[in-house]
Structure 1
């Protein structure tokens, strides 16, 4: 498994509200197990065809490989996180899988097929979004797209609403073995100001959406790039959480899709 730098910022400056009181990292970077690893912590098993828009992404680079999630937004486009595509040379896309190792079909595409946001900044997790151009995927009950938010909802904060996250991230902070079944959990969107108390305002900008993680329910390794959906609409892309673990009760953060509707349309032609 590729080893990644953890985003550590000075605790001494945290009182200013700009820098984090808790160090943060991408779910993709948590594991030390050299394999596709896990699931959402303390979530539920998905049933067949429950999340037809969910894909698994197995990235490869000269230094290793890693697993992320993604969302189908068109039959030739997948949306994921920039920290997932960053540094990779190719990806195998798993479509229609409830059991991770049993997809309906897979496509392998090179890095030339993806569009990583030109202004992605890993240190502050800015613009953590990428598009992957794929061969045309045949839609069915198990493989289908998820809707993007309407332009009219650009200023929606979604605070207080319950959204669903899905993916194959680790089952717990202690997990060292892989689990194959797609997981999901319901998470409540919180005010960004609450999230800033943990991660700082340099990291939690208006282009980030955060959720509470009560009862050790959160996104964990392997969920990076995966969807946060509300009423069948994609509102977030799994981005980062607390370095200290998925179960410590710190907020989980997502790229706010409404902040990138123009970027998505410009680069893929897709809109709500």
Structure 2
């Protein structure tokens, strides 16, 4: 969108939703990153269909994986506790028992892009990552990182080995201006004044700041991984803590 065009505030979220509907907002990949060190980030999850890797996710408890709501596309299984998703033994495969998509989710342009997956019982203890304990407000330029198995170049394909890249948090006002409006309860980081960020294939993965999963990869701009001035957008996990706790408690009561 031409930055010279003025957009009335009341139309901003509507326009973001329309871009989504037209296929302009797409799922994502790691750009300008590097292979993750072995035995690190073993909380990372590869959400798969019969055709292979679809989205990322992250293990938050012994039987729950967090991801993006827009990743609900023919998912059949989750691979946990490995960096290389090409050769996976049965011990690292978990099957999805139930999906809990946020009830108000419509599309990435209107926000609430968050989902919990209840997976089959784990026979071995795997690494989890903590969530924020209360609502957070990240400062401008806070250093974080995002990881996944997505593309490493425009028009590429998913990779077998986990990759990671560091990104900096972008001021919310700047993010809104660059997009012409964004959904409520999001964090912007990477993809603006830098080549670092995500693109196709990493949706649902975590934005990690100081060892805590604070965001969920939601959307970027088109299929362009060369990064025009459109910040990468993540769901702000801390804004959904009551919803998350309700799902986890409801599941325990039903067992």
Q: Which residue of 2 aligns with 1:96?
A: 81
Give the superposition deviation at 1:269: 3.4
1:26 alignment counterpart: 26
Alignment match of 2:96 (pick from 105, 109, 114): 109
Give the C-alpha shift of residue 92 in structure 1: 1.3
Change in CA separation of 1:231 and 1:12 when aligned onto 2, cut-off 3 Å: closer
Pick aligned residue for 1:159 from 140, 145, 149: 140
Aligned partner (choices 174, 187, 191) of residue 171 of structure 2: 191
The within-5 A match list for 1:209-228 is 209-213=187-191, 214-228=193-207
Distance 1:190 1:265 in 2: 28
Residue in 2 that maps onto 1:145: 128
Alpha-carbon RMSD across the aligned residues, in angstroms, is 2.8
TM-score w.r.t. length of structure 1: 0.78
- TM superposition shift of 1:97: 1.9
The offset of 1:198, in angstroms, is: 2.4
The TM-score with structure 2 as length reference comes to 0.83
Cα distance in 2, alignment partners of residues 178 and 267 from structure 1: 31
1:165-244 to 2 correspondences below 5 Å:
165-175=146-156, 177-201=157-181, 203-205=182-184, 207-213=185-191, 214-243=193-222
Unaligned runs of 5+ in 1: 1-8, 29-38
Please state how far the C-alpha of 1:138 moved relative to its aligned partner.
4.5
Map Cα deviations across residues 211-267 of structure 1 (whole Å, 9 max, x no partner).
Answer: 132442111111000011111111000000011512224210000000001110000
Partner of 1:83: 70
Unpaired runs of 5+ in structure 2? 251-255
For 1:65 and 1:54, how far apart are their aligned partners in 2? 16
Residues in 1 aligned to 2:243 and 2:141: alpha-carbon distance in whole angstroms: 27
Count of equivalent residues: 238
Q: Distance in 1 between matches of 2:4 and 2:108?
A: 18
CA contact (8 A) 1:53 1:146 kept: yes
Q: Distance in 2 between matches of 1:121 and 1:13?
A: 27
C-alpha separation in 2, matches of 1:161 and 1:44: 20
Shift of 1:12: 10
Q: CA 1:65–1:45 in structure 2 vs 1: closer, same or farther (change >3 Å)?
A: closer
Find the aligned partners of 1:137 and 1:11 in 2 and give their Cα distance: 50
The match for 1:246 is: 225
1:178 positional shift: 4.1
Cα offset, 1:137, TM superposition = 2.4
Residue 190 of structure 1 aligns to a residue whose secondary structure is coil
Return the match for 1:268 from 248, 251, 254. 248
